[in-house]
Structure 1
Amino acid sequence: MLATLCATAPVLAQDVSLMDGMSPREGVNPVVAAGTYAKPAPWKIGFSIWGFGNTWMIQMAQEAEFAASQNPKIQKFLVTNADSNPTKQIADIEDLVAQGIDALVIAPVSLTAVSPAIEKVTAAGIPVVIHSTAVDTDKYTVELQGDPIHFGKVMGDFLVQQLNGKGRIWVLRGQAGVSEDQLRYDGLVEALKGTDITISSEQHGDWSYDKGKQVCEALALSDPTPDGIWSSGAAMSHACIEVFQDLGLPLPPITGEGNNGFFGVWKAANATSMAAVFPPEQGAAAVRAAVALLEGRPLHHRYVGRPAPILQDRRDSFYRPDLNDNLWFPTGLPEAKLQEIFKK
């Protein structure tokens, strides 16, 4: 009797697992009803991303392509690269639709520019899965996003703990004008509430190694001996550690990100650090969401990822000295694929 009941029980949206750390977003969050987009396999899925501007985006696409290659129901997985150009991404979307895609998976290049194109695809009855970057419309099928406020806050919480709630810190932000930068910073502000920690210097390093190094070198002259450093990205953290080493200065606690290159310098310098996590597996999770919709399974409209940070006690279980600096953690790629893509 129990076996019969289990076999006939309806699949619920919460039963569909997309990625570790990814869960339905709180608040108003309707469910896409079972069967809404059900379609017999094989399927053709379009995958549009805003560009390969950094190693994280490259790995995100690789994770998505691997996930698609492992599903025999996906006959074609069509990848397009917008080269950071909204006009090109709109043209890419139109071309994918013309090729008869059964679902569209997209990391939008712009908060606003591609929204009308996304709305048009949704209105045509094609399921649209948004991931990694946001849009200013809710007329899509499913959205998967990281939580930049959580990302910035776990970094801030680490410094609050390390400094016992008091001291001066540098703040190395990302790219000015980008929502991800502002929201990560908002998370830091939330973490510092009620403490005696002050921001003595604040600069934008553009999430870049070169710009981050310039900023850290300048700050080391103008505002020496900070008690801690809040850095919004791995490349800037990497650069800052090297600046302190080059100048022979004691390195204060510094935040980092889940990147193999950063983990190497973190370990070599014996730095007091941690890594906030923004998994590139989001690309694969978005492919899984598209498959679930085409299989007729129910999903929530919005999902959010808030994975736990990687602290020093777990660092060495992720760090791969045999692989190159471009690997991001956590990853859903198997060992053979990691060796193929990231071997030194």
Structure 2
Amino acid sequence: MSLSVLLLGACSLEPPTWAKPSQSGDIKDMKIGLSVSTLNNPFFVSLKNGVVKEAKKQGIEVIVVDAQNDSAKQINDVEDLLQQGVNALLINPTDSSAISTAVQSANGIGVPVVTLDRSAEKGKVEALVASDNVKGGQMAAEYVVKTLGENAKVAELEGVPGASATRERGSGFHNIADEQLDVVAKQSADFDRTKGLTVMENVLQGNPDIQAVFAHNDEMALGAIEAITSSGKDIAVIGFDGNEDALKAVESGALTATVAQQPELIGELAVNAAKDVLQGKKVEEKISAPLKLVTKE
């Protein structure tokens, strides 16, 4: 009984015939759905803008939905996009594990999936378009070693638990830090500026002698700076993303450095990957957008 219900559920997601791409690979009337983890973060707004601009240039319609950092909402959003007959899905997962069911729903009806910035743990994804997060984490740790020396005391503000970017940035950072730095505290602040402020206040109370902070994104880094400024301490802060506020903060000297991504480029590359898949072309499983460490010098 349960199997037939599941099968019926899958069938109901089948997009109407007119919504499917023509066999000729013509992109006319092509429609893609973009599910973003949150539009309350400048990085993901830039990523969305990259998708929308490139799609417009190519004559492709885009439907954008904002998961508001809620995994359950994101799954519902993706099911809605499938009901609307999108030809391909671009997903920036809130949680790499939770999104797997939505990816599998798309797989079940033959709608290709491209993920942006973060991967999905299960289901078939045609391509992951992202920066090399592991390399970025290493770049941050190497910069701390270079500027503050070996065994400098460092705190780490981690991103959303379960997001692949959190795991990868942390892994890259620890590849260097575990050998050459003293990581005295690490705590999640969910990629959020306000939480970055609160978590940093707590970290400072327990570790008044830290010399540097590595935050898995700029929003947390900017929150951490507020807490550090209030404490009157001089602590180096390295963020990750290179969003507009962070670049201004680097220029003013408030933020020491940021590992800058190119979110608009990630969006652009994702649209082209989806188009290529729909036209029957082969795409790389991992499409990387270059990173750059930005400092005031």
Counterpart for residue 276 of structure 1: 259
Structure number having the greater helix percentage:
2
| Counterpart check, 1:66 vs 2:50 | no
2:238 is aligned, of 255, 258, 267, to: 255
Tell me the alpha carbon deviations over residues 44-92 of structure 1, each in whole angstroms, 9 at most, x when there is no partner. 22223144343322232222112111123x2x22223344455554444
| Mapped contact 2:101–2:123 kept (Cα < 8 A) | no
Letter in 2 for 1:230: F
Q: Distance in 2 between matches of 1:296 and 1:177?
A: 32
TM-score of the superposition, structure 2-length normalised? Answer: 0.77
| Mapped contact 2:191–2:217 kept (Cα < 8 A) | yes
Q: Distance in 2 between matches of 1:56 and 1:100?
A: 28
Counterpart for residue 159 of structure 1: 144
Question: What is the Cα deviation at residue 213 of structure 1?
Answer: 2.1
Alignment CA distance shift 1:211-1:146 (3 Å): same
Higher relative contact order (CA 8 A, sep 6+): 1
| Counterpart check, 1:173 vs 2:150 | no
Q: Distance in 2 between matches of 1:94 and 1:246?
A: 45
Tell me the alpha carbon deviations over residues 9-32 of structure 1, each in whole angstroms, 9 at most, x when there is no partner. xxxxxxxxxxxxxxxxxxxxxxxx
| Counterpart check, 1:106 vs 2:91 | yes
| Counterpart check, 1:39 vs 2:25 | yes
Counterpart for residue 78 of structure 1: 63
Question: What SS is found at the alignment partner of 1:70?
Answer: helix
Question: What SS is found at the alignment partner of 2:62?
Answer: strand
| Mapped contact 2:258–2:293 kept (Cα < 8 A) | yes
Counterpart for residue 292 of structure 1: 276
Question: What is the Cα deviation at residue 149 of structure 1?
Answer: 2.0
Q: Distance in 2 between matches of 1:210 and 1:310?
A: 23
Percent identity between matched residues is: 22
Alignment CA distance shift 1:299-1:149 (3 Å): same
Question: What is the Cα deviation at residue 40 of structure 1?
Answer: 1.6
Q: Distance in 1 between matches of 2:77 and 2:137?
A: 33
Tell me the alpha carbon deviations over residues 141-188 of structure 1, each in whole angstroms, 9 at most, x when there is no partner. 222233332222111111011122232222222334544333322222
Q: Distance in 1 between matches of 2:162 and 2:76?
A: 26
Alignment of 1:1-344 (within 5 A): 39-49=25-35, 50-72=37-59, 74=60, 76-195=61-180, 197-249=181-233, 251-257=234-240, 258-268=242-252, 270=253, 273-281=256-264, 282-313=266-297
Number of paired residues? Answer: 273
| Mapped contact 2:196–2:220 kept (Cα < 8 A) | yes
Alignment CA distance shift 1:154-1:214 (3 Å): same
Tell me the alpha carbon deviations over residues 286-335 of structure 1, each in whole angstroms, 9 at most, x when there is no partner. 1111222334433223324452322334xxxxxxxxxxxxxxxxxxxxxx
Q: Distance in 2 between matches of 1:99 and 1:218?
A: 46
Alignment CA distance shift 1:114-1:185 (3 Å): closer
Alignment CA distance shift 1:235-1:69 (3 Å): same
Larger mean CA deviation between 288-297 and 88-97 belongs to 88-97
Q: Distance in 2 between matches of 1:99 and 1:272?
A: 43
Question: What is the Cα deviation at residue 38 of structure 1?
Answer: 5.3
Letter in 1 for 2:259: A
Question: What SS is found at the alignment partner of 1:310?
Answer: strand
Question: What is the Cα deviation at residue 191 of structure 1?
Answer: 1.2
